Structure formats: structure tokens, C-alpha cells
Structure 1
Amino acid sequence: MFVSPLLTWFDLHERPLAWRESGTSAWGVLLSEVMSQQTPVARVETVWREWMARWPDPATFAQAAPDEVLRAWGKLGYPRRALRLLECARQIVSLHDGRVPDDVDTLLALPGIGDYTARAVACFAYGKNVPVVDTNVRRVHRRAVEGRYLSGAASKSELVAVAELLPKDGRGPRFSAALMELGALVCTATSPACTECPLRAGCAWVAAGSPPPGADELAKKKVQKFIGTDRQVRGLIMDVLRGSDVAVPQAAIDVVWPDGTQRSRALYSLLEDGLAEQDDRGYFHLPR
């Protein structure tokens, strides 16, 4: 019911993302998926192109130093992803001869690769017809099939439910990409453009009168703050460390945030996460 209208829509509205270009390697797909986690695509493309030019495969990336990787990661956010990606590349080289694995279970065994990323690489890089379920896909499925708003944490049962929608005639990987695109562009969280949706005729949520979220669903919705959080302070400290080729004294960090307790907590968490190191003099620098 959904396959043909969705694929027809996707043919017309697919965004020309860098990693969708013909010839993109499995490494390029893996890199794009890791970079895009909790980060807008618009911020990812430029950095992705820079990384692919600099480190076109796992073997070249595996030779990079952690501080080099963190500087190249820049302001994409959640920089632990960059270090996990370095671990991942080194394991791909040591265990898989530098080739990104093509099956879900082997991908899941790599550092920093979870359910979503493993299936995305298997699907989009190798054409495996496996369910790829991110928040966009969960939201489309919840509305179109179940007729209600998305709420609650992701579950394994959703993989089974989405798998039931996949066509078995070779179009599965493209259908998976189209589902994600629909959730990103049309079936959005707060202002779905139902009049533009190719699934409107069979959508259970539209058939139910497009009911608003219930009180319990609204209560569970939390706006993720950034300003004033430890995450912001961590980012400011990382800016200082990335911007210096040498270790910096405590004074260089103290100026970035007025709250000494929060600043110390953020700095300690960076040291604990392996994103910063302290030398014998008490100076701080990126890991090497």
C-alpha cells in the first residue's frame, strides 16, 4: 500500500546529500551515519567531504592521532563519537583487512556501532534488505500504521514492525531511505505537512482525524536544553584545547565559564571520557 507512492515521491524529493552520490564507499556511508547522529545534516556535509578527502578509507584514518581527529571533528558535537570512530577504523583494519563488514552482526561487534548504524551500513552501502529504524522512521510508522503520536523509547519490536513494510523485490533499501526522508521532510514531529504526504490516503493517523498527542505523550516530551548546561561548558573547554597546538594552563580554561564548580565538573568529565589529558605540569591538552 505504501511502497509505490512513497518511492514515486522519493524520486522527486530526494535530497542530493553528499554520501548519496554514486561511488560512495561503505566507509563513506559509515562515516556519514556516525556524523549524523543527533546532528543536523546541513552541519555534517562539509565536514564529511573534508574527512573523505583526508581519510578516504579505514586504513588511512586508522593511522590518525586522536588530537588530529578531534580537531577535524570541530563543532559537530558529541566528540566521543570521533574517538569511537577511530577505534572502529583500527578494528576494521586489524580484523577485516580494512574492509567495512557487510553484515549486521559483524558491524555490531565494532566499537561505537549500534543497532541503527549497523543496519544503515548494511542497507545503504551493501543493499541488504534490513529495517533501518531511526526516530524519523519510528514517527512515520507510528502515525501511518498505528495512527498515533510517537512516544516512548525505541524497542526491538519496532525493527520487526518496520521489516514487515519492506518490499521484497529489490526495492527495500531505497524504500528504507525514502521512509527516513519522509520523516525528515514531511512527517515531522511538530508540524507534519499531511497535505503533501504520499501516504495520506492510507495513513491511520489521518483516518483517525489527526488526533493531537495525549496528556501522557505531552508530559514525556522534553525540550533538550543546551545553553547553560555542562555540555555547553564541555564544548567551550574543547574549543580551547582544539585551538592550541600546545598544552594550556588552567587559567586558559578558567576564563571560558564563570561558575567554577560547573567548569571543574565539565573539565573532569572530559578527562574521564578521554577527550582531554593533563600533563605533569598540570597543563591540559587533547589526547595524543
Structure 2
Amino acid sequence: MSASCHETLSALPEAASAPVVPAVHTVHTRVIDWFDEAARDLPWRRPECTAWGVMVSEVMLQQTPVSRVLPRWEEWMRKWPTPRLTAQAPTAEILRVWDRLGYPRRAMRLQAAAQAITDRHGGEVPGEAEALRALPGVGEYTAAAVACFAFGEPEVVVDTNIRRVHARVFAGEALPGQSYTAAQRRRAVELMPETGDDGGRRACAWNAAAMELGAMICTARSPQCAICPVADLCAWKLAGSPPATDRQRTRGQAWAGTDRQVRGTIMALLREHTSLAEAALLESPSLQGFSAEQRQRCLDSLTRDGLAEAGGGRIGLPGSPVGLQD
């Protein structure tokens, strides 16, 4: 964070209309102190958790709540506590353990990353964000989060929760909007504590604390301002908590009747069987609320994505013996 952080923040477009921009150091201190007292005891936050455990959690937690991730993470780490074991696992079993976390291509990308870690790094998760970004399927957020939370590197970590905290506390906006803008990125960089003699510990603590504040207190729909550690400093609260504008609102993703729902239903059926006759799969009772054209289209897309394999008129998960019946 630069010495002129306050002035720079005030000049950003998002912050220009905010009546007050709080002292950044004070916000850091209060939020980090709150986190030290109130943080959830999650297994991937414990000192004994490996870098691989942190990486698995970060991939699973994308667009998925903690309550759903916990049992899947625990089973994954029991079965495959290292990248090498994950790389060696049958892909069908990987997808079964992933279960209903959603977006199952994440599971396959995680296995591909495990293979690359095994091949390029001797089975050890690299500690530098640049090396992490070079892994297949690992984007900017995951690389920064793993480098920060597993290795203590002072990377700028920004998820939806952190964006919301930044928008409210420092810009006076109800919500940050759907897109992560360049201006928001600049603000996130400027809000990072300076890396001094502490080796970046405060910067990493700020990332974790701001994320937790957004997840538990400064939520999108029902913020608990009465117990927020920075409510008296928050630009949005001091402005009277104005409602979100149309630009700031994030449109919810539909589920019922969508291809995502059909694909999820097909994946659930495939996880339960070694393989299924294609005709029987498409005529499954759980798929009868959808048109024949949609069912076929979704099955074809799963095959193209490598999430299902076909052979001899039967369908199974990748690597399953599709010629065999249960």
C-alpha cells in the first residue's frame, strides 16, 4: 500500500461519490483483530494443513458454500492427500468424490494440476504465484490464494466477498457489480498492507480477514452491520446504506430447466453406476421433465467436455469400463 493510499483511493471512480474514506490502517487492524477472535475453525486454515489441502479447498470453494465443501474436502484429503495420489486416481473416482459440488470440470482441472505438480515439481505444490498460474486450470485467483494462504506470500487475493467489503467500506457502494474491473483491482492493490519486517504476514492476514468478514458479516443480502467491527468507519453505512443500483446488482443464475440442471442430473446418474445403456440413461425418470432434444444435447456436451465416455451403446464416467453393467 502506498503512502498516498487515502488520496489515491479517493481519486478512483468507485470511491469518488463516497462521503468518507476511512483510514486504511485502522480498518486493517480492526478487521484482523476481529478475525483473530471470530474466524471459523476450518480444516484448511489449521497449521497442519498442507499446501495441497489449501489448494483443494480453494478450487472446491469457488461458487460453492463451505457447508457443502467440508465433507467433500475431508473425503478427498483422506483418499488423495498428495498431488501424486490425486494424479494416479481414476478420473471416474475423482468425479464420484466430487459428488454434487457442481461445475465438475473443476475436479478434472484439479487432477490435471496434480499431474503437472507431480511431473514438474516433484509432487510438491509450488509456492510462487507465477509457478502456480502455469499449472493447467489454475487462474489468477487460485494462484494468489494458494501462494498467500499456504506459503505466506503477500499476494493480492480478491474474491466476491472481498470485493463487497472493499466496495462498501471504501467506496460507499452497496455491491461491487458483477465484473471485477481494473479500477477495483487497483483499489485492492492499494489496500494491501505494506510488506515490511513481518514478511507479508499482515498482508496475508488482511486477505483472510476481509474474506471472512464478507462471508459472515458483510453479506450481500443481509449485512450484520450491528456487529461489524468497522461499521462506524464504513463509507456505505455512513452514507445511509443506499440500495444497490442496477449496475451494481449481480443477476442470479437460473437453475430450474436449464442445461446445467440436466447435465447435473446425468452426472448424478453416472456416478451411481459403472455404466448405463444410453437409451436407458436418457429415459431415466429423473430426466423426464426435460425434452428429448435437451437430454441428448446435454449428454453430448458432457461427452465433448470429457466428463462422460461412450462405447458400445453405453455411457460411463471417464475411465469407467463402459462395456460392463452394474
The reply to whether TM is greater than 0.5 is yes
Equivalent position of 1:154 in the other structure = 180
- Shift of the 184–265 alpha-carbon distance from structure 1 to 2, 3 Å rule, reads same
Name the CA distance, whole Å, in 1 between partners of 2:181 and 2:88.
Answer: 36
Among 182, 198, 204, which residue is 2:229 paired with?
A: 198
Equivalent position of 1:257 in the other structure = 287
Name the CA distance, whole Å, in 1 between partners of 2:173 and 2:106.
Answer: 33
Name the CA distance, whole Å, in 1 between partners of 2:221 and 2:255.
Answer: 20
After superposition, residues 233-272 of structure 1 pair within 5 angstroms as: 233-255=262-284, 256-258=286-288, 259-272=291-304
The offset of 1:157, in angstroms, is 4.1
Name the CA distance, whole Å, in 2 between partners of 1:90 and 1:158.
Answer: 34
* Helix, strand or coil at the partner of 2:168: helix
* Helix, strand or coil at the partner of 2:74: helix
Name the CA distance, whole Å, in 2 between partners of 1:103 and 1:14.
Answer: 26
Among 77, 81, 96, which residue is 1:56 paired with?
A: 81
Structure 1 window deviating more from structure 2 (151-160 vs 100-109): it is 151-160
Quick check: 1:249–1:283 contact (8 Å CA) kept in 2? yes
- Shift of the 261–238 alpha-carbon distance from structure 1 to 2, 3 Å rule, reads same
Alignment gaps of 5+ in structure 2: 1-25, 320-326
Name the CA distance, whole Å, in 2 between partners of 1:49 and 1:216.
Answer: 39
**Count of paired positions:** 285
The offset of 1:253, in angstroms, is 2.8
Equivalent position of 1:177 in the other structure = 208
Name the CA distance, whole Å, in 2 between partners of 1:92 and 1:63.
Answer: 12
Equivalent position of 2:11 in the other structure = none
Name the CA distance, whole Å, in 2 between partners of 1:217 and 1:260.
Answer: 38
Among 69, 89, 98, which residue is 2:114 paired with?
A: 89
- Shift of the 215–86 alpha-carbon distance from structure 1 to 2, 3 Å rule, reads closer
After superposition, residues 1-288 of structure 1 pair within 5 angstroms as: 1-149=26-174, 150-168=176-194, 169=198, 170-218=201-249, 221-255=250-284, 256-258=286-288, 259-279=291-311, 281-288=312-319
Moved over 4 A (4+): none
Quick check: 1:250–1:284 contact (8 Å CA) kept in 2? no
Name the CA distance, whole Å, in 1 between partners of 2:247 and 2:58.
Answer: 32
Quick check: 1:130–1:163 contact (8 Å CA) kept in 2? no
Per-residue CA shift, 1:12-32, capped at 9, x if unaligned?
210011111221011000000
Higher relative contact order (CA 8 A, sep 6+): 2
The offset of 1:165, in angstroms, is 2.0
Name the CA distance, whole Å, in 1 between partners of 2:96 and 2:247.
Answer: 42
Quick check: 2:282–2:296 contact (8 Å CA) kept in 1? no
Name the CA distance, whole Å, in 1 between partners of 2:178 and 2:98.
Answer: 31
TM-score normalised by length of structure 2: 0.84
- Aligned alpha-carbon RMSD (Å): 1.4
What letter matches 1:121 in structure 2?
V
What letter matches 1:227 in structure 2?
A
- Shift of the 66–7 alpha-carbon distance from structure 1 to 2, 3 Å rule, reads same
* Helix, strand or coil at the partner of 1:284: strand
Per-residue CA shift, 1:158-184, capped at 9, x if unaligned?
333223222234311111100000000
* Helix, strand or coil at the partner of 2:191: coil
Between Structure 1 and Structure 2, whose CA radius of gyration is higher?
2
What letter matches 1:257 in structure 2?
L
Alignment gaps of 5+ in structure 1: none
Structure 1 window deviating more from structure 2 (159-168 vs 134-143): it is 159-168
- Shift of the 206–236 alpha-carbon distance from structure 1 to 2, 3 Å rule, reads same
Quick check: 2:156–2:207 contact (8 Å CA) kept in 1? yes
Structure 1 window deviating more from structure 2 (266-275 vs 149-158): it is 149-158
Structure 1 window deviating more from structure 2 (189-198 vs 124-133): it is 189-198
* Helix, strand or coil at the partner of 1:278: strand
TM-score normalised by length of structure 1: 0.95
